[in-house]
Amino acid sequence: MGTFVLGGWSLNWIFTAQDGQPFTIGCPTATTAGLGCNAFLTLNQDPYSGPHNVNHFLNPAAFYNPPAATIVGQKDVRPLGGAPTQVSGPPFRRLDVSLFKQFHLTESRYFEFRGEAFNVSNTANFSNPSLGNYLDMVNFGRITSTRDSPNDPREMQFGLKFYW
């Protein structure tokens, strides 16, 4: 009886670990007519310093506006700004687990018990900051959503299946 209940369990798991998604901080003040621009990164300023939470994920002091274009056809390309994808958003972490066992009645007839848990650690996986104007010191770098469904809380489900 002990082997029937305690032995023969199987465990499956999937752990997902991803770096944050790269994104670009644009220029809050246009530097050219009709062309976009990316903010420059300030030397000796870590873009991730500060609280580094959902209200202030990035450091606004780490970015500055390029100079404005002054003449048509100028050879100085600095008004176009810095490189794209200067920073990355929060990482993604998730653990899904399943546990199951077959209870044989005969060779071909058995019950299968299955328990599954998704997002076992109940980790919120946040999106990139949606407010990218670094001149707005209060709202810059604020994260307002998650990467997976609305909140993706921990989910558990159990099942019992009869095979004949």
pLDDT digits 0-9 by tens, 125-136: 999 998 888 999
Instruction: Say whether 95 sits in a helix, a strand or coil.
Output: strand
> Count of domains in the chain?
1
Residue 60 has pLDDT above 90, yes or no: yes
pLDDT digits 0-9 by tens, 21-39: 999 998 888 787 667 788 9
Sheet strands (E) in 43-91: 63-64, 87-88
CA distance 103 to 9: 10
Q: Concatenated DSSP letters for 67-118?
A: PPP-STT-S--GGGBS-S--EE---EEEEEEEEEEEEESSSS-EEEEEEEEE
Residue 6 has pLDDT above 90, yes or no: no
Task: Give the domain range for residue 77.
Answer: 2-163
Residues forming a β-bridge with 160 = 113
Residues forming a β-bridge with 74 = none
Q: Please name the amino acid found at residue 42.
A: T
